[in-house]
Amino acid sequence: MQIDVTRDVFQLAQVFTISRGSRTQAEVLTVTLRDGEGTGKGECVPYARYAETLDSVTDQIAGFSGDWARLLDALPAGAARNALDCAFWDHAAKVAGKRVWDLLDLPAPRPEITAYTLSLDTPDAMQAQAAKNAKRPLLKIKLGTPDDMDRLEAVRRGAPEARIIVDANEGWTAEVYAELAPHLIRLGVQMVEQPLPAGDDDMLGEIARPLPVCADESCHDRASLPALRGKYDMVNIKLDKTGGLTEALALKQQAIAEGYAVMVGCMVGSSLAMAPATILAQGVALTDLDGPLLLAEDRQAPLHFDEHGVHPPAAALWG
């Protein structure tokens, strides 16, 4: 099996800001697998929060032997394993002449309503963003700063009917969360994602959680679940955290069995990165696969988004 890695850059439609910083483009790695039978592709987004760089992830991929059966043991959960695992699934589907969901013995995926993320900005700018996207059924608000209430109030004014979830990106303390929670409920917020830093979130098990709290940075793969008990109500499963579709599907099954609601999220990448996650997102509580909607450019045969949500990929894209 020949494994090639390329670096691809996709310009964003506008500056995208969270509590940790801003970006104007998405830098991704594309893995292409080739043998005498077919070709498979996968994409990953190395993430600095998890000590990943384009170089370090490229080195991990280059050091892999090419044996899919050994992948989960050969590489840790993370971006490198994700791109490889998704490329192997794509390759297997192309060789078999079937779709990935058929290989998994799953029903054909249906469209899923996805959140649309509003970038962190001034309250006035966020109100304008919300008004522009007020017809979208689910808005995700990036927070995690001392001025969060002004921003949230502004978004609600801009989109009075939309469902809202918020993501603090580890930016709050337990005291800030306890103070904000009643206001979040008043404004109709349905879920708060990762309010406290991963590794410093034990207080979530000791304070009231009047609205569901979702683990993002605190949840990577199945090994993460024991540390979440009593602190979180939901887990955000992202392929770049689990290290691929194989582990993501296993995590989804185990999380549901342990009583967690499931959200399927993404890093900011292209349609190739989101495509496998459309299978994972079937039937979950929340879907957040808006990466392509934030781009000014995308892959050929991109995912289709409409009022029904994000549709499963065409075979020409993946799977």
Q: Kindly give the residue spans of alpha helices, DSSP state H, lying in 193-270.
A: 239-242, 245-257
Q: Which residues contact 170 (CB under 8 A, 6 or more apart)?
A: 19, 144, 194, 195, 196, 197, 198, 217
* Neighbouring C-alpha atoms within 13 Å toward the C-beta of 259: 8
Question: Using CA atoms, how far apart are residues 297 and 13, in angstroms rounded to an integer?
Answer: 8
Q: Kindly give the residue spans of alpha helices, DSSP state H, lying in 188-302.
A: 239-242, 245-257, 271-280
Name the catalytic one among 94, 231, 238, 252.
Answer: 238
**HEC-encoded secondary structure of 57-79:** HHHHHHCCCCCHHHHHHHCCCCH
Tell me the residue type at 159. Answer: A
* Nearest residue to 118 via CA among 164, 169, 172: 164
Please, what sign has the CA dihedral across residues 243, 245, 247, 252?
A: positive
Both tokens of 1, joined, read 């099996």
Question: Using CA atoms, how far apart are residues 285 and 291, in angstroms rounded to an integer?
Answer: 19
Is residue 94 part of the annotated active site? The answer reads no
Name the catalytic one among 142, 231, 241, 252.
Answer: 142
* Nearest residue to 53 via CA among 29, 20, 83, 19: 29
Is residue 142 part of the annotated active site? The answer reads yes
Q: Kindly give the residue spans of alpha helices, DSSP state H, lying in 40-173.
A: 54-62, 71-74, 79-96, 100-103, 123-132, 148-158
Enzyme catalytic residues: 142, 238
